[in-house]
């Protein structure tokens, strides 16, 4: 649930970061997304991008803890 919330808010934030980068590189003053549908599509892509990154980090963190415990127990002997 937390990953979904962070991905939703982060995806919304990324839209503006990406728009700013495009405006800076191309010298535009504004960007027209073409309506709500393209805006939501970009938001959805950013949401799933962040959600997969957060899921990968969670799985890495969960696998890292048992691996540390195994290496610590091997060093004790």
pLDDT the model gives residue 15: 95
Total domains in the chain come to 1
Residue 76 inside a domain? The answer is no
For 33, the domain range is 1-66
- The Cα-based distances of 20 to 12, 43, 64 in angstroms read 13, 15, 37
CA distance 66 to 4: 25
User: pLDDT per residue over 16-58, tens digit each?
Assistant: 999 999 999 999 999 888 999 999 999 999 999 999 999 999 9
pLDDT the model gives residue 66: 75
Residue 75 inside a domain? The answer is no
């Amino acid at each position: 649930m937390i990953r979904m919330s962070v991905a939703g808010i982060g995806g919304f934030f990324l839209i503006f970061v990406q728009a700013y980068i495009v405006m800076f590189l191309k010298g535009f003053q504004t960007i027209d997304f073409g309506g709500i549908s393209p805006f939501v599509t970009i938001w959805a892509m950013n949401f799933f991008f962040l959600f997969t990154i957060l899921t990968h980090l969670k799985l890495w963190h969960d696998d890292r803890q048992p691996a540390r415990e195994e290496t610590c127990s091997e060093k004790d002997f």
